[in-house]
Structure 1
């Protein structure tokens, strides 16, 4: 049995149209904020004209297309001209708002709606004027839910003569929508498009929908701004953390080196002078490094400066062998990642060893990973010597933490040791593009 078709009443049609309109403006705002250049525009409060033109094009073209869709297809939910022009002025300034208002107004004017052009240009100027006089933070906290505290804000205004910017920002689109309703009823829908509200309830819904067409994009864009700022803060925190780890200096090494220099000043002044030069170069790398990442070749140069100092301290009993794959020398590694391992080997493995002391530096490629090894023939790791464990001493703990911070689970540090035979520390460093230089 066939049923007769049921059509929506005027109130139901208006309600559905307003809901679809809000869904459309939310979708448009979400699409725009996914573009990096548009997000960049939202981060700066003072924009030059090239940036304003980008914003005008990004927002004005879709809004004008929505007006065209209404005129050509009769799809009324696509038209958010009033809220869009006000929004453009509120975010980008009066001239940007006026231009967006002119874009949607001229499109409507092509359909014979001659009142639309001055009205929407005025909406853009209204949003831009409020932007010029109110605090910028108040704009990004725009929300229609502030109306729930209307009486409290009115009492605050009367008692303290304190202007609440949220109430003023919300009052503007409501007043503009009331003006559109008045002009629409006065001159007719063929001169100005509007959603006719024939009851108090429908008028209230229309005013709320107009306010939401401004509040929803601002809410979405503000969340993107906050997320971007949090990412910047995390990046700065990560950079500061890496900087702090890189700048750590083992005081024992510094004191021992200064003691060696003082003992050589009278007997071997040339050697003392060489040690001072090497020490100054090493400290300069530690304290005034501009790069968090360097090539393995440069990192080995820093290790050589340190080993030159230690070879003078220990004499011919300390020998260094290198087994380096030439393909790894240009690989990018964290700055000062090897020197703490070599220092740890000498301090905890070789310092108390009798006879020949040997350190071997080895590098090789394994797929997309560069493997670095620091091997010594020292006394090895003993249960009573926790400083040699990855999280026990300043050297290995520093390297382990830096690998975790920079590479996550991809960077690995492994230790193999046998008491009385020596220790092998193995680093696995994945490929990393050389980042932009940042000044500490």
Structure 2
């Protein structure tokens, strides 16, 4: 099939490369000329394991990029993957999605054949009917269901494992409101994946498909906050929360995934989607009290790390190593990172945070503050530091044993359970 993908961020770039791997001819459309140039040169614009080999294999053959929407009508279907950022009240701003749909509509105005627009951007239920479909109709002069179709096909790809998550999905959700042509096109697009991996395929309405995405992320965020709350209680009683969680995970009603307590959740999805669903509920005069507590627990975790550090050292005037800037390993994304509030807490106490991350995330995060140093290595960050907090579980941090000897005060608060306890190291696990 010929496929166009609007937007070349985390979702769009991964989607375009993976669709090319399925055998489709893909054109990525983005307004950023630098990203387009990099994609056409076979260079990944984001840090994502497994992405670069796909670009190496398909750039210039099955995959190309352009800033021109004229490529859209030459394709069978278009995926819209542009961002839906949060407003101050937590609600999402879908103006970029609306603009992309309008541009797609204009591009297909002269196309005789039916064209399918597939929304992969995360949108609140009802927005496809109330905002996006009218935008396409107005721009194209076509009627939905006749000249074009509109489907919702949410993604469930985690940063750091997005390529694998696409290739080995736990489900495919196809929201088409009974439009047979839309369903057939989506089914044909994913057929190589279904044949190879055989995931469950959920055929549902567009509102349901949109809500499934939110429900998925909010449930996982809630599960993490719950295990973190339990972990905080375990810590106060001298109980290893990881042993407790291992036993909990044996219950198939609970499951072992997302039971690793620690510094909390971040990234582009959990914070934004939780806030968006809360805002959407409030628009209908429903107060989502449980979700409010889910967020409150998550906000508290980095500050608990600072409090544990203060049990052993006064950070005022001291160098404190902060290991990890990305919100999780395998990415350089600092959106929602728990390192941000931890750094804020250290600065408020008069400390000098010394930040290290193996990616560009350290420089990116440090640029948001005055008084944060960036180290070239974890060992450099630890040297002469009067304490350290571990915020991201990069594998290299598990091999830092000797580097702790260079600290002025060997105090480590581990928020990710990646540092080994040893003699001569004052070690505090956040929830164990």
TM-score grouping bracket, smaller chain normalisation: under 0.3
Bigger helix fraction: 1
Computing the radius of gyration over CA atoms, which structure comes out larger, 1 or 2?
1
